[in-house]
Amino acid sequence: MRKKQPTQADVAKLAGVSQSTVSIILNPQGKDHLLISEETREKVQAAIQELGYVINPAARTLAGGQNRLMGVFINGSAFPLDQHGFYHPYLVGIEEACIRHDYDMLLFTRSDGGEGVRRIYRNGLNHLRIADGSILLGLENKEELARLMKEEYPFVFIGKREVPDGDISYVAADYFRGTQTILSRMMALGHRQTGFFYRLYNDATKDRERGYHAALAENYHSSVTHMKRQLTVQEITPAFCRDVLDAGVTAILMEEPAMAHAFAEGARQIGRTCPDDFSIAALSDNDLAYLPTQVAQELVMINIPKLAMGAAAVHMLNQLIVDRNKAHDAIQMTIPVTISGGSTIGTVRVEEELQG
Amino acid sequence: MRKKQPTQADVAKLAGVSQSTVSIILNPQGKDHLLISEETREKVQAAIQELGYVINPAARTLAGGQNRLMGVFINGSAFPLDQHGFYHPYLVGIEEACIRHDYDMLLFTRSDGGEGVRRIYRNGLNHLRIADGSILLGLENKEELARLMKEEYPFVFIGKREVPDGDISYVAADYFRGTQTILSRMMALGHRQTGFFYRLYNDATKDRERGYHAALAENYHSSVTHMKRQLTVQEITPAFCRDVLDAGVTAILMEEPAMAHAFAEGARQIGRTCPDDFSIAALSDNDLAYLPTQVAQELVMINIPKLAMGAAAVHMLNQLIVDRNKAHDAIQMTIPVTISGGSTIGTVRVEEELQG
DNA sequence: CTGAAAGCGCTTACAG
DNA sequence: CTGAAAGCGCTTACAG
C-alpha cells in the first residue's frame, strides 16, 4: 500500500505553527514572505526535513500557483528514429531555454486520434491546460488555434500562422527577406527569367512569395517572365527540367533543398549544368541530412534559425505566462535568416542571353 | 484579463443536473458511469459543447484522478545539439510506448542545481510528483533513488542499479550474457590470454565482469593470464598497446567502441594488426556515430537494445502505476543484447602460441 | 438513476 | 508577525 505523503498540515503540526505559515515560507514570492521570523522559518525547515515533505504540484496549481511546466505540442514525433527530425533543432533551443527559465518540458505525445493528425482537443478536453502555457509546432488546424485563443490559453506558435479571429503569438523565420536577398543576388548577376516552386502553399510560402515579388520589383523595371507553381519532388523529372529551361528560365528558387537537388539532377541528365546553364537556390534547409554532403555545402539556401526560434518561443511564452492577467497583444517575432552555400549561383552565360 | 474557464458546475447548471453527474459522465472508468441515462448524457454533452468546457487536470489529480503523465528524468540533455545523444534511442522507444499507452511525456529539464548533476529533490521538493510515475535515465545518485523508494513514488530505472535499501524496478541490458558470448567465441578460436578494460566501474561493468569470468571459467580449465583494469581513452597509447600485447594478451574486451578503436589504432602504430595479432571487441555500442563507418560495421560489439529498453520501461511503469495501491515487488527486467560486427575477431596465430 | 457533501493539498486575502 | 477560513475544481463514497 502506498504511503500517504506528508502535507503542509503535518509539517505545521510538527513545527507548532499554522499551515498557512508553512505555505508562506514555501512561497518566497508571496507578499507575506518577509514577515516570517527567522526562528519560525528554522522550525518549519526542520520539520520539512524530518518528514521528508514535498509539495504537491497539483494542489499548488489548483490553488492558483504555477507548475512551471512548459507544454510542447508537436504534430509529429519528438524523437524520430532517424534522428534527423525536422523539429529536432527547435527542441534543442526550447530545452536549453526551458532550463534557463526554470521550466520543465511537457511533451504532448498522446494527441493522435488515429487520424494521423494530432489534436489538442479530444472529448472536448484541452490537454494543454496542465501546462502553464504551450509551444506549438507544425499544427495546421486553425480551428484549434482559434479555440485556444478564445480560451485565452497562453501559447506561442513556431512558424507563422494567420488566423481569422485575431492575432496569435508566433515566432517565424524571415523568409521574406531571405528570398528577396537570394533573388536579388541572382538578378544582380544578370538573371531575368525566374521560377518559383513550392511544395505547399502555406503562410511561410506566402512570405517567400512576397520576397520573390519584392526582388523582382526592385531589380527590374521592364517586364520579366516568371514561372510559379506547386510541385512535388516526384514531378521534377528531366522532362520537367527541360520545359523550364527551354522556356528561358535561368534563376530557379525551390522551397526545399531536395527539390533543388532533384532539379539539378534532372537537368544534368539532359546535359544542362549548374551554375553554367542556370542558377538555383533553396528557400529552406529542411531535410538536409538526406542529401549528399557536397550538395548540402554548395547549394545556396536559406538557413532557418531553428535553435534561436525555439529559444525565442520560450522567452515569449514566459512573458505571456507572467503577464497572463494583463490585457495583452499577441507577440509576433520574426527572426533573421542566414544564407549558406554559393556555388549554385553564377552569372548568366552570354549565349543564354543571346538566345533569350 | 484572462477569462475564467467554465467548470463542471457551470456545465451542470446549464444542463440542469448536478455537478457530480457531469463528473461521472466524464469518467467512463468510474463505477457509476453506466447508470447515467442516455438522455442526461446528451444534455450534458450539449452543455459541454456550448460552454467549451475543458477539464482542469490539476483538480482531477488532486481529487485522486490520474493525469496520464509519464515523467522522464535524464541526467543530461534530451535534445543534444549533435543529435547523437547517448539517450536518444531510449527516448524513441519511450515516446512510442507512451503514445501506445496514452501518456504524455514530462521531461524534467530544470533539475540542474548548477552542479553539473541534475537532482530530483531541490529545496526538499520532489519535482517528479506531478507525473504519475517517472522513468529515470543516467541517475547516479543512489541517495535520491533510496528516497524515491521510501516515498513509494512509482519509477523505473533504465540501466541496472543496486541500492542498499531494497530492490528498485529497472530494465537493463544483458551485459552478462553478451560479454560471456563474445569471450567464449574468442576462446573457441584459441585465445587464452585475455584483457578486460572498462571506463567506469558501475553496476553494468559488474555484469560484464561476471560474464567475462563466466566465459573464462567454462572455456578453460587450466590457468589463464588475464588483465583487468580501468582506463580512459587517452590512456590507450601505442606504449600501452605494446605493454598489453607484449604481455601475451590476444583477446581484448573494451567497454566502449571508442576504446577499442583507440587500441586498434595504437597497435597499428607499433606494427600489430587486428585480427592477425589480436582480437578485440567492445562491450557496448555507445557513441558509435563518432567512429568511422567502417569501424562501426566491423568491430565486434554488444548492441544495446535501447529502443526495446525504453518501451519496456514504459510498460513496467504503467503496471506500477495501475497497481500503485497494491503491495508490489520491484519489477526487474533484463533484455537480451545482440552482437554485431565480426572481422575484429580471428583465430590465434601459431607464432603467437609458440611465443606465449 | 441522481444529488448533497466531504475531501484532495494547496494559496491567499482577511483578521488579529 | 501568525492563524482561521474560504476557495481552487475536481472524484468518490454515501444517501436517497
The architecture of the domain spanning A175-304+340-355 is 3-Layer(aba) Sandwich (3.40)
Q: Do the beta carbons of residue B112 and residue B78 sit within 8 Å?
A: no
Confidence at A28, pLDDT banded by 50, 70, 90: confident
pLDDT in tens, B286-309: 888 889 989 999 999 999 999 999
Average pLDDT on B158-173 reads 82
Which residue's CA lies closest to nucleotide C3 at its C1' atom?
B18
pLDDT on residue B142: 78
Specify the CATH number for B175-303+340-355; select among 3.90.700.10, 1.10.10.10, 3.40.50.2300, 3.20.20.10.
3.40.50.2300
Element (H, E) at A258: helix A257-269
Residue of A nearest to B101 (CA): A110
3-state secondary structure of A203: helix
Cα dist from B277 to A235, B10, B133, B350, whole Å? 55, 80, 51, 10
Q: Which bases along strand D come within 7 Å of a protein CB atom?
A: 1-5, 7-14
Q: Which of B2, B55, B104 sits opposite A152 (nearest CB)?
A: B2
CATH class of the B69-173+306-336 domain in this structure = alpha beta
Query: Is there a common fold for B69-173+306-336 and B175-303+340-355?
Result: yes
Name the phi and psi angles at A47, rounded to 5: -65, -40
Rounded Cα–Cα distance for residues B19 and B8 (Å) = 6
pLDDT digits (tens, 9 = 90+) for A40-80: 888 888 888 888 787 777 788 788 766 788 999 988 788 87
Chain A, residues 219-248, CB within 8 A of chain B, namely none
Highest mean predicted confidence (pLDDT) among A74-83, A346-355, B41-50, B81-90: B41-50
What burial class does residue A116 get, using C-beta atoms within 10 Å of its C-beta: 0-12 exposed, 13-18 middle, 19+ buried?
Answer: exposed
> Is the bond into B275 cis (omega within 30 degrees of 0)?
yes
d(CA B252, CA A67) in angstroms, rounded, equals 51
**Distance between CA atoms of B221 and A251, rounded to whole angstroms?**
76
Of the candidate ranges A86-95, A139-148, A196-205, the one whose mean pLDDT is the lowest: A139-148
Q: Is the CB of A19 under 7 A from strand D?
A: yes
Which CATH number, 1.10.260.40, 3.60.10.10, 3.10.20.30, 3.30.565.10, labels domain A8-62?
Answer: 1.10.260.40
**Do residues B6 and B53 make contact, with C-beta atoms less than 8 angstroms apart?**
yes
pLDDT by residue (tens digit) across A266-283?
999 999 998 899 999 999
pLDDT of B352: 46
pLDDT for res A25? 85
Three-state DSSP class for residue A300: strand
pLDDT at A298: 95
Nearest CB to B129: which of A54, A94, A150?
A54
Which pLDDT tens digit goes with each residue over A170-228? 999 999 999 999 999 999 998 988 999 999 898 899 999 999 999 988 886 655 667 88
Domain ranges, ordered by start, for chain B: 8-62, 69-173+306-336, 175-303+340-355
Chain B contacts in chain A segment 153-212 (CB below 8 A): none
Sign of CA dihedral A276, A278, A283, A286: negative
Which nucleotide's C1' atom has the smallest distance to the CA of A5?
C9
pLDDT in tens, B265-286: 999 999 999 889 999 999 999 8
User: What's the gap between Cα B97 and its chain centre?
Assistant: 14
Residue B206 pLDDT: 94
pLDDT value at position A223? 52
pLDDT tens digits along B206-245: 999 999 999 988 886 655 667 889 999 999 999 999 999 9
φ, ψ at B183 (rounded to 5°): -70, -35
- The pLDDT score that the predictor gives to residue A83 is 62
Q: How confident is the model at residue B353 (pLDDT cuts 50, 70, 90)?
A: very low
The separation, in Å, between residue A20 CA and nucleotide C13 C1' comes to 12
- Of the partner residues A80, A103, A109, the one whose CB lies closest to the CB of residue B104: A109
pLDDT score at A57: 72
Interface of B with A in 18-77 (CB under 8 A): 45, 48-49, 52-59, 61-62, 67-69, 77
B chain contacts of residue A104, beta-carbon cutoff 8 Å: 106-110, 127
Which pLDDT band, with edges at 50, 70 and 90, does B111 fall under? low
Cα(A341)–Cα(B321) distance, integer angstroms: 52
- Answer whether A92 sits within 8 Å of B107, measured CB to CB: no
Number of A/B CB contacts below 8 angstroms equals 158
Q: Any idea what the Cα angle at residue B127 is, between residues B125 and B129, rounded to 5°? A: 100
